[in-house]
């Protein structure tokens, strides 16, 4: 197995920060707000490894820092400190020291992101087909016919009616918007995909279909994924390994079935017990 992503000591502080931020926040102190300078320690000292084709779950309650992790890795935010290396066959990218053009290159050619809120992942001013075309153009596909064909293929794959590919996303249901977002993220066959609460707020049968789709994609294309969710059922179905976060820290990590059936940490034990 080959490593695709390595994250070391990632921290993200919102606010001006002070020397006490880290020692005065965290799960033992039950807060992520520094009492001295009021900064928010959204993530601190996070390290993780991801292998090709692997799905890693990040679980934790609201505000624990789950989205912060993927936003930093997808360059939506800049970390306060830490390192991350993305391995692309023989090439290595030191993610947090790249310039804007290099970051754009990785987002356009190697990474995909599906946000909980479709407004963040889709351009609501253009059609769903146009959203996919936009991403294909960024990936240097230029021929109109080819682009349209590929967009159609992707929407078919994600079970969006292709007769509706020229409609604006706002006409679609939440589940459909999520499918268009997934189709757009997948357009370039990214080896690395970030999924942030993609099924939250959808009704159960739609959730089941989307989870099924994600698993199929992972198996067909060997896509590595980080799946952020507060839903234990989602990690159980998708992730081989899971990380549990609280107040910006990793509380526990392990094989997903072990985290759910034999949690070691008091917090994880409570979390799992309350979900039963």
Partner 1 sequence: MTAEPILSVEGFSKHFELHEQAKTIPSSSNVNFDVYAGKLTALIGPTGAGKSSVLKGIYRTYLPSSGRITYHAANGTSLNLALADEHQILELRSREIGFVTQFLHALPRQSTEDVVAQPLYQRGVSREQGRQKAREVLANLNIPERLWGVPPATFSGGEKQRVNLARGLIAKPRLLLLDEPTASLDPTTTDRVVEMIQAMKAEGTAMLAIFHHPDLVERLADNVVTLTPPVALNNKEVTS
Residues that bind ligand ATP (CB under 6 A): 14, 32, 40, 42, 60, 62-68, 230, 261-262
Please report how close the Cβ of residue 36 comes to Zn ion at its closest, in angstroms. Answer: 5
Is 230 an interacting residue with respect to partner 1 (CB under 8 A)? no
x/- string (CB under 5 A) for Zn ion, residues 16-45?
A: --x--x------------x-xx-x------
Is 68 an interacting residue with respect to Mg ion (CB under 5 A)? no
Residue 62 touches which of ligand ATP, partner 1, Mg ion, none (Cβ within 5-8 Å per kind): ligand ATP
Looking at the Cβ atoms of 67 and 223, the one nearer to Mg ion is 67
Q: Among 15, 17, 63, 254, which residue interacts with partner 1 (rule: CB under 8 A)?
A: 254
Q: What DSSP line would sit under the chain, residue for residue?
A: --EEEEEEEEEEEESS--TTTTTT-BGGGTBSB-TTT--EEEEEEEEEEEETT-EEEEEE-TTSSHHHHHHHHTTSS--SEEEEEEEETTEEEEGGG--HHHHHHHHHHTEEEE-SSHHHHS-TTS-HHHHHHHHHHHTT---HHHHHHHHHHHHHHTT--GGGTTS-GGGS-HHHHHHHHHHHHHTT--SEEEEESTTTTS-HHHHHHHHHHHHHHHHHH--EEEEEES-HHHHHHH-SEEEEEETTEEEEEEEHHHHHHS--SHHHHHHHHHH-
Give the binding-site size for Zn ion (rule: CB under 5 A).
6
Residue 166 touches which of partner 1, Zn ion, Mg ion, none (Cβ within 5-8 Å per kind): none
Q: What angle do CA 66, 68, 74 make, to 5 degrees?
A: 115
x/- string (CB under 8 A) for partner 1, residues 155-194?
A: ----------------------------------------
Residue 21 touches which of Zn ion, Mg ion, ligand ATP, none (Cβ within 5-8 Å per kind): Zn ion
Residue 34 touches which of ligand ATP, Zn ion, Mg ion, none (Cβ within 5-8 Å per kind): Zn ion
x/- string (CB under 8 A) for partner 1, residues 50-79?
A: -x--x-------------------------
- CA 59, 64, 67, 68 torsion-angle sign: negative
Please report how close the Cβ of residue 239 comes to Mg ion at its closest, in angstroms. Answer: 16
| Residues ≥6 apart with Cβ < 8 Å to 18 | 34, 36, 37, 39
Which residues contribute to the site for partner 1 (CB under 8 A)?
1, 51, 54, 204-205, 208-209, 211-212, 215, 219, 236-237, 240-241, 254-255, 257-258, 261-262, 264-266, 269-270, 273
| Binding interface with Zn ion (CB under 5 A) | 18, 21, 34, 36-37, 39
């Amino acid at each position: 197995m080959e490593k695709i992503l390595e994250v070391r000591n990632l921290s993200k502080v919102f606010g001006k920060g002070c020397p006490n931020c880290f020692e005065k926040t965290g799960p033992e102190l039950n807060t992520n707000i520094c009492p001295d300078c009021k900064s928010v320690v959204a993530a601190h000292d996070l390290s993780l490894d991801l292998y090709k084709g692997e799905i890693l779950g990040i679980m934790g309650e609201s505000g624990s820092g789950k989205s912060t992790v993927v936003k930093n890795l997808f360059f939506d935010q800049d970390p306060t400190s830490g390192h991350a290396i993305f391995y692309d066959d023989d090439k290595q990218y030191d993610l947090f020291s790249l310039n804007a053009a290099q970051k754009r290159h990785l987002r356009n050619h190697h990474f995909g992101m599906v946000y909980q809120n479709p407004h963040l992942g889709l351009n609501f001013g253009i059609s769903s087909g146009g959203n996919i075309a936009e991403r294909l153009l960024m990936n240097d596909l230029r021929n109109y016919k080819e682009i349209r064909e590929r967009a159609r293929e992707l929407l078919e794959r994600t079970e969006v009616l292709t007769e509706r590919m020229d409609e604006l996303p706002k006409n679609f249901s939440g589940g459909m918007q999520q499918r268009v977002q997934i189709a757009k993220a997948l357009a370039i066959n990214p080896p690395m995909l970030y999924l942030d609460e993609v099924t939250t707020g959808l009704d159960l049968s739609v959730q089941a279909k989307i989870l099924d789709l994600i698993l199929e994609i992972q198996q067909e294309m060997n896509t590595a994924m980080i799946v952020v969710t507060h839903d234990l059922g989602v990690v159980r179905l998708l992730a081989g390994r899971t990380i549990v976060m609280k107040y910006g820290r990793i509380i526990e990590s392990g094989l997903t079935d072990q985290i759910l059936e034999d949690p070691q940490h008091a917090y994880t034990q409570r979390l799992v017990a309350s979900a039963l």
